[in-house]
């Protein structure tokens, strides 16, 4: 595999791992969100993110001669490339959950727009499709960010944003970071780079892969 192809596959895996881990974290609100409507919303968003992870894994799997399921569940935890932002467990903290949702969806839009310009047509086509679905995640995230800012919990929400901001920058690379600063009106800070995993990650990995590991090679 050429160096260029390798870096493209690495990028697909980083994105897919982010979407899978965040999809998992979002699904933790199913049944216990502060409102019934948010139970439905976070469950649906989780399903959307995991669907995007699957499609991205499939593209990477074609390059690597493997399958989406093997990439999603059969790698050792240290081989995943997800950013620490998506690994953190926030249940039952709604302020941090919405802060991550808002920062992640804004950052995701920037990198998906860049992918839609990819010179590899399958990647560009998938990015175009993902963006049409992500728009609804973003409307939801923006709506909640607005709502918390206008609420009595504004200070708590702003503190969560400030805390997660260096992690959010770590989702992106290069000039995309400047675009994110502009999109969320924040000053650049030292990013927490992808590579080191959060303490919660091995626990999430354990849970996420448990069923598949219970019967190796089974067809579900």
Partner 1 sequence: MVTEERVWAALAAVADPEIPVVSIVDLGVVRDVEVEHGRVRIEFTPTFLGCPALEVMRERMADAVRALGAEPDVVVIADGGWSTDLITAAGREKLRAAGFAPPAPREATAPTLVQLERGPFRCPYCGSTDTRLENIFGPTPCRSIRYCASCRQPFEQFKTL
| Shortest Å, Cβ 128 to partner 1 | 3
Considering only CA atoms, which of 129, 28, 155 is closest in space to residue 88?
28
CB nearer to partner 1: pick between 156 and 212: 212
CB nearer to partner 1: pick between 9 and 47: 47
DSSP 168-196: HHTTS-THHHHHHHHHHT--------TTS
| Shortest Å, Cβ 40 to partner 1 | 5
CB nearer to partner 1: pick between 25 and 52: 52
Q: Which residues bind partner 1 (CB under 8 A)?
A: 37, 40-41, 43-45, 47-52, 54-55, 125-126, 128-130, 132-133, 135-136, 139-140, 142-143
Q: What are phi and psi of 80, to 5 degrees?
A: -75, 150
Residue 140: left (phi > 0), alpha (psi -120 to 50), or beta? alpha
| Shortest Å, Cβ 191 to partner 1 | 28
CB nearer to partner 1: pick between 2 and 132: 132
| Shortest Å, Cβ 71 to partner 1 | 16
Q: What are phi and psi of 115, to 5 degrees?
A: -65, -35
CB 42 within 8 A of CB 94: no
């Amino acid at each position: 595999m050429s160096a260029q192809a390798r870096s493209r596959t690495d990028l697909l895996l980083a994105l897919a791992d982010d979407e899978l881990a965040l999809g998992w974290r979002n699904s933790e609100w199913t049944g216990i969100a502060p409102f019934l409507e948010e139970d439905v919303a976070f469950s649906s968003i989780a399903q959307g993110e995991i669907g995007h992870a699957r499609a991205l894994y499939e593209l990477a799997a074609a390059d690597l001669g493997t399958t989406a399921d093997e990439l999603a569940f059969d790698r050792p935890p240290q081989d995943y490339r997800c950013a620490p932002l998506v690994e953190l467990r926030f249940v039952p903290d709604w302020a941090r959950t919405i802060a991550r949702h808002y920062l992640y969806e804004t950052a995701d839009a920037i990198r998906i727009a860049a992918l839609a310009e990819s010179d590899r047509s399958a990647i560009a086509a998938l990015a175009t499709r993902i963006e049409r679905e992500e728009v609804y995640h973003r409307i939801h995230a923006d709506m909640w960010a607005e709502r918390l800012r206008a609420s009595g919990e504004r200070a708590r929400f702003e503190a969560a944003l400030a805390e997660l901001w260096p992690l959010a920058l770590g989702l992106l690379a290069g000039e995309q970071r400047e675009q994110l600063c502009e999109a969320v009106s924040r000053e650049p800070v030292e990013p927490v780079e992808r590579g080191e995993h959060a303490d919660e990650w091995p626990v999430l990995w354990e849970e996420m892969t448990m069923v598949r590991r219970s019967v190796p090679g089974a067809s579900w």
